[in-house]
Amino acid sequence: MKSCFSLLAKPLQFLLQLDLFSDHRVDDPESPLSTDSPYTAPRFKKTPPPNVVVPLPPPPSKSPNKRQIRLPEQWLEYTLLRSKRRTIGFLINEDGLRITAPRWVTIADIEQAIQEKRRWIVTKLNERRERDARQLQPQMQWVDGAKLPYLGKQLTLRILATQAMGIELDNASDELRISLPADAGEQQLKDRVQAWMQQEARRVFLERLPVYAEKLDVSYHSMSLSAAATRWGSCTSQGKIRLNWRLIHFSPTLIDYVIAHELAHLREMNHGPQFWATVQSVFPEFEQAKHALRHHALHDIPVF
């Protein structure tokens, strides 16, 4: 058995975990919500740059696991948990920053890692606060005149009281006209709209899949819709593609990115450099699309 001293002699690696959707993954295994990156201890200044006013530290927490560290821009409070793992893990959740570290790693090493990742940490904490603030905003009201995201634009719902049930999109006015009995409830309206959007998602996906399959020179076995809460898409080695119908809310560019991403797995069943080179060969702007998709949370789209 290796001693603690031999473990300390090895270079540390830190596992960076990013939670953007309230502690669940969005696109597994291709989700950007969990990444592994080697850690190299940088050289950095321990004092803030000139003319930077550092706020006073927050009041000490009563929790024994809570700690504070001064960053150049601010004081940061984080939760430290010890475990038998061999890496330092970073997690952003509803409580802020949580760090899980091996028992033998010193506080100095942990805080050096925080300083190295401080820009990422501050950025993601701010994004989390913005998403939490958006969650407090009123949800979509399912009434005549409500706005519904569809292919990156906003449709206006027009509810027509009639015994003849139907739904029709007027592209000229961007109105979605739903015919329902006058006594129909909100859930009936939601069910009609959801069924229509799933139908549209299937139509759009089946139009775009062959385009990228031809570009990549691959063949897929089948496509089915997914309603998963944690994935935008998936692909098996047998060529079975699953795409989240919720993508129909987003722009065609983001839909194309997910489709190209999943089909690229038929060439590379991993997320190594060759995989991303394959995606880039048919979708050069994949970095921008990936970044945009990361900022779409499930609570940003209507609840059916």
37-62 burial code (b ≥16 CB/10 A, e <16): eebeeeeeeeeeeeeeeeeeeeeeee
Q: What angle do CA 134, 152, 205 make, to 5 degrees?
A: 120
Q: Is the pLDDT of residue 154 over 50?
A: yes
Return the H-helix or E-strand segment holding 89: strand 88-93
Q: Is the pLDDT of residue 300 over 80?
A: no
Q: What angle do CA 13, 71, 25 make, to 5 degrees?
A: 50
Q: Two tokens at 99?
A: 């760090």
Give the sign of the dihedral formed by CA 273, CA 230, CA 136, CA 122.
negative
Q: Which of 161, 164, 163, 157 is nearest to 143 (CA)?
A: 157
Domain architecture of the chain: domains with CATH: 11-135 (no CATH), 147-300 (3.30.2010.10)
Residue with more model confidence, 190 or 296: 190
Return the H-helix or E-strand segment holding 81: strand 75-83
Does this model's pTM top 0.95? no
Reported as a single tens digit per residue, the pLDDT across 41-98 is 344 444 555 555 556 666 666 667 899 998 887 889 999 999 888 889 999 888 889 9
* Alpha carbons 118 and 120: distance in angstroms, whole number: 5
